[in-house]
């Protein structure tokens, strides 16, 4: 895993996408930046980039992920990899379906994933020192750089989807108190059923988490 640290970047996600498309890098490759000026969030939203927070994008291919992990499970898999790492230091962070990090009932971060041919780019933002209004910060004191290294080490272990899903299945009950956005509509998750691939079955249809 190549790990690259930048001082400033508009968007680690778009930067890594461009590097991959231009054949300037080969997976596995990680980019982190101290300051992000135009971050990309889910549903086309921007992600505010306060200095000291975590801005991280990882590019992996099929050889860097476990054999039982499919496209529909990518966002949840990498969210849980980071969550379990933070939990080992005493954090109470949890993953809200499909791609948000929470402390109690307040969001502290999120994940975005993109597939390009046989490669995946997974981008994470996490509030470590400062958050927007109505959000929160991580409940333990870890630097962005230390989280980057720890996260990459966990990726290298290629933990099975089966193992990760067994943990997320229990945690999913917390998501049922919330709403999510599906096809532009707000949907109550209280009636959702979690499927083995990380998708949910709700309103008579299966909805996937890949974003």
Number of H helices, E strands in the chain: 4, 14
Q: Model confidence over 167-188: pLDDT tens digits?
A: 999 999 999 999 888 877 888 9
Q: Model confidence over 62-95: pLDDT tens digits?
A: 999 999 999 989 999 999 999 999 999 999 999 9
User: Going by C-beta distance under 8 Å and a sequence separation of 6 or more, which residues neighbour residue 12?
Assistant: 6, 31, 32, 33, 36, 39, 55, 56, 57, 123
Q: What angle do CA 122, 19, 31 make, to 5 degrees?
A: 50
86 or 41, higher pLDDT: 86
End-to-end Cα, the chain, rounded Å: 23
Hey, what domains does the chain have and what are their CATH numbers?
Answer: 2-172 (3.30.930.10)
Q: Which of 111, 53, 102 is nearest to 79 (CA)?
A: 111
pLDDT at residue 156 above 60? yes
pLDDT at residue 210 above 80? no
Q: How many CB atoms lie within 10 A of CB 152?
A: 17
Q: Model confidence over 106-155: pLDDT tens digits?
A: 999 999 999 999 999 999 999 999 999 899 999 999 999 999 999 999 99
Predicted TM-score (pTM) of the model is 0.92
CA 53 distance to own-chain centroid: 14
């Amino acid at each position: 895993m190549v790990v690259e640290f930048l001082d400033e970047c508009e968007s680690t996600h778009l930067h890594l996408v461009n590097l991959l498309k231009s054949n300037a890098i080969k997976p596995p490759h990680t980019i982190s930046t101290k300051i992000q000026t135009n971050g990309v969030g889910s549903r086309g939203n921007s992600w505010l980039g306060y200095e000291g927070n975590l801005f991280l994008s990882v590019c992996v291919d099929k050889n860097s992920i476990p054999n039982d992990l499919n496209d529909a499970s990518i966002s949840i898999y990498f969210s849980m990899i980071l969550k379990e790492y933070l939990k080992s230091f005493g954090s109470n962070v949890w993953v809200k379906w499909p791609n948000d990090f929470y402390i109690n009932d307040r969001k502290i971060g999120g994940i975005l994933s993109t597939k390009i041919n046989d490669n995946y780019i997974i981008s994470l933002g996490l509030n470590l020192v400062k958050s927007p209004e109505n959000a929160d910060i991580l409940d333990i004191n870890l630097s962005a750089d230390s989280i980057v290294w720890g996260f990459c080490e966990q990726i290298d272990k290629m933990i099975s989807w089966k193992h990760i899903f067994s943990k997320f299945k229990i945690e999913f009950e917390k998501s049922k108190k919330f709403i999510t956005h599906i096809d532009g509509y707000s949907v109550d998750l209280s009636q959702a059923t979690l499927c083995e691939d990380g998708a949910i079955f709700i309103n008579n249809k299966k909805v996937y988490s890949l974003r």
